[in-house]
Chains A and B, each alone.
Chain A
């Protein structure tokens, strides 16, 4: 197993954990965490892809990841602001359809 292959597998597993978190947990903050886990999995996959061939690092996935990180932090920041306001307005820390 190559280094890149190892991290590719780790990325796949990380994506699965993220999706499980999204499906199994209902607290808004946990959902946002799970989305970020999923995002990290995608980034890890891209970085691993960039390193597949010996002696060569592909800069395009790196650029995608850097752009992706900024997009992710933006989305997370907005999601947290929305979650805070939602909590302040309703007193709920989860969406109503996830009740019981």
Chain B
């Protein structure tokens, strides 16, 4: 029964993926890609990775989808020219591409299925020594304990993506999702709903953050929820693009990384090594780092969606 569902799910994934690549309309492809992200989250939940499923739904499907849709709008010429599908490729080219991808599928499938799961692995050791990391969730233990450097570098990636986007930034009036709807034209329920959703979102993010130590959740999910709020506020015009990054925004952008680095470097003196935490302080320090990281994830994502250097509240 379970396997049949998995079979259906895998088939759906592949069908959607094929549609994403083959569909004639670009908009359709984008929407199907978002749907694919949601199915992917479902598959991961099936594979005992509910925390990843949450992140994929929020970031992989939600935020990426929002970015794609906004870019799709920007890349549309005035007179909608249909994108020539794969037919644009000469027949031999399509054939060569198919052969190459087929070879990849065969080699990859054969290699991946042929691999024996090793008896000892980094993962088993991580589970065995989780107690030493100071948190109860294995994922958080790996992300902020055993392999903290990856997490630190990954937040730097996000910052760098924002900095890179500033290099190629467009003028403010063309940036992001385009001109936001003026307040008067808004659907009636928008304002009250936002008044409800925003505080709720902040609370959820805080809960996710706090709970990350011992159950699914954590900085990424909290950051994703905050970023989603940011996107919502930007879409409804509550947040407006600004031409410059304010000092407060700069501080929020780098604060999490600086905090993480500082605690990490201090580990050389207070604990055994760089990126080690003193045993008694491990949990509070990790919580502090996670809080900083949640902001360091949410703000660049919001800014990247907004396509602007900074944000400001709409004047009333």
Which A residues are closer than 8 A to B by beta carbons? Answer: 1, 3-21, 23-30, 32-34, 36-37, 40, 43-45, 47-53, 56-67, 69-78, 80-88, 91, 93
At the interface, is chain A mostly helix, strand, loop or mixed? Answer: helix
Cα distance, A61 to B84, chains bound together (Å): 38
Q: Of the candidates B108, B139, B161, B304, which one forms a contact with A15 in the assembled complex, judged by CB atoms under 8 Å apart? A: B108
Cα distance, A7 to B52, chains bound together (Å): 15
Cα distance, A18 to B98, chains bound together (Å): 11
Q: B131 within 8 Å of A by Cβ? A: no
Q: B160 within 8 Å of A by Cβ? A: yes
Q: Of the candidates A20, A49, A59, which one forms a contact with B101 in the assembled complex, judged by CB atoms under 8 Å apart? A: A20
Q: Of the candidates A56, A64, A81, which one forms a contact with B169 in the assembled complex, judged by CB atoms under 8 Å apart? A: A81
At the interface, is chain B mostly helix, strand, loop or mixed? Answer: helix
Cα distance, A31 to B236, chains bound together (Å): 30
Which residues does chain B contribute within 8 Å of A7, judged by CB atoms? 6, 10, 43, 47
Cα distance, A52 to B108, chains bound together (Å): 16
Q: Are A13 and B71 in contact (CB under 8 A)?
A: no
Cα distance, A93 to B83, chains bound together (Å): 10
Cα distance, A24 to B74, chains bound together (Å): 23
Please tell me which stretch of B61-69, B195-203, B282-290 contacts chain A, meaning at least 4 of its Cβ atoms lie within 8 angstroms of it. Answer: B61-69
Q: Are A23 and B71 in contact (CB under 8 A)?
A: no
* CB proximity of B150 to chain A, nearest CB, Å: 5
Which residues does chain B contribute within 8 Å of A28, judged by CB atoms? 75
Which residues does chain A contribute within 8 Å of B102, judged by CB atoms? 16
Cα distance, A4 to B46, chains bound together (Å): 10
Cα distance, A42 to B290, chains bound together (Å): 26
Total chain B interface residues with beta-carbon distance under 8 A = 93
Q: B205 within 8 Å of A by Cβ? A: no
Q: Are A19 and B100 in contact (CB under 8 A)?
A: yes
Cα distance, A8 to B115, chains bound together (Å): 11
Q: Are A70 and B75 in contact (CB under 8 A)?
A: no
Known: A53-B117, A66-B220, A73-B59. A23 touches B30 (CB 8 A): no
Which residues does chain A contribute within 8 Å of B18, judged by CB atoms? 17
Known: A33-B30, A73-B59. A84 touches B74 (CB 8 A): yes
Cα distance, A10 to B8, chains bound together (Å): 11
Cα distance, A11 to B17, chains bound together (Å): 11
Q: Digitize B152-193: 1 where CB-to-A-CB distance is under 8 Å, 0 elsewhere.
A: 001101101100110011100010000000000000000000
Q: List 10 A-B contacts (CB under 8 A).
A: A1-B3, A13-B14, A20-B21, A37-B33, A44-B40, A47-B44, A64-B150, A74-B304, A78-B164, A78-B165
* CB proximity of A67 to chain B, nearest CB, Å: 5
Cα distance, A34 to B104, chains bound together (Å): 15
Which residues does chain A contribute within 8 Å of B305, judged by CB atoms? 77
Known: A20-B98, A51-B48, A62-B51. A74 touches B56 (CB 8 A): no
- Residue ID in chain B nearest A11 by CB atoms: B112
* CB proximity of B225 to chain A, nearest CB, Å: 14
Q: Are B47 and A29 in contact (CB under 8 A)?
A: no
Q: Are B48 and A57 in contact (CB under 8 A)?
A: yes
